[in-house]
Chains A and B, each alone.
Chain A
Amino acid sequence: MAQIPVQTIHRDPQLFYWILLPITIVMVLTGILRHYATVMLATAPKKLDQKTMREQRWLMHGINLRGNYHVLSKRSFNTRRDALTAAFESGAYLKNPENRGQAPPNPLSDPSAMDGMMGMMKNQMAMIIPNTLIMSWINAFFSGYVIMKLPFPLTIKFKSMLQAGVATRDMDPRWMSSISWYFLCIFGLQSVFNFLLGSDNAASQMAQQMNQMGSQGTPQMFGPGVDPDKQFRAEAENLAVIEHYSVLDDVETRLLEGIRA
Chain B
Amino acid sequence: MPTEKDYQISPVVQESIAHNSRTLFNYQSLTASLFGVCAGILGLESYAGFLFYIIATLSTCFLFYALRVAPTSIPAGKAPLDTSRYFRGAFEFWTSGLSGGLAGFILTWTLFYGLVRA
> A residues engaging B (CB < 8 A)?
16, 20, 24, 70-71, 147-153, 184-185, 187-192, 194-195, 199, 247, 254
Say whether, besides A70-B8, A190-B29, A151 and B44 are in contact (CB < 8 Å). yes
In angstroms, Cα B72 to Cα A133, docked, is: 51
In angstroms, Cα B47 to Cα A70, docked, is: 53
In angstroms, Cα B118 to Cα A20, docked, is: 14
Q: Is the interface of B mostly helix, strand, loop or mixed?
A: helix
The closest CB in chain B to the CB of A9 belongs to: B118
In angstroms, Cα B40 to Cα A137, docked, is: 28
**B104 close to A191 (CB less than 8 A):** yes
**A194 close to B39 (CB less than 8 A):** no
Q: Which of A188, A247, A254 contacts B8 (CB 8 A)?
A: A247
**A191 close to B33 (CB less than 8 A):** yes
Kindly identify, within residues 15 to 33 of chain B, every residue whose CB is under 8 Å from any CB belonging to chain A: 22, 25-26, 29-30, 32-33
Stretch from B61-69, B87-95, B108-116 forming part of the interface with A: B108-116
**A151 close to B103 (CB less than 8 A):** no
The closest CB in chain A to the CB of B32 belongs to: A191
Please indicate the chain B residues that have their CB under 8 angstroms from the CB of A199 in the complex: 22, 25-26
Count class of interface residues, chain B: 20 to 34
Q: Which of B8, B30, B46, B110 contacts A191 (CB 8 A)?
A: B30
**A188 close to B107 (CB less than 8 A):** yes
Q: Which of B29, B46, B114 contacts A153 (CB 8 A)?
A: B46
Other contacts beyond A195-B30, A199-B25: 9, CB < 8 A: A147-B114, A150-B110, A151-B49, A184-B106, A187-B106, A191-B32, A192-B33, A194-B26, A195-B26
**A148 close to B103 (CB less than 8 A):** no
14 contacts between A and B (CB under 8 A): A71-B8, A147-B114, A148-B114, A149-B118, A151-B109, A152-B45, A153-B46, A184-B107, A187-B103, A188-B104, A191-B32, A191-B103, A191-B104, A195-B26
In angstroms, Cα B106 to Cα A24, docked, is: 14
**B46 close to A152 (CB less than 8 A):** yes
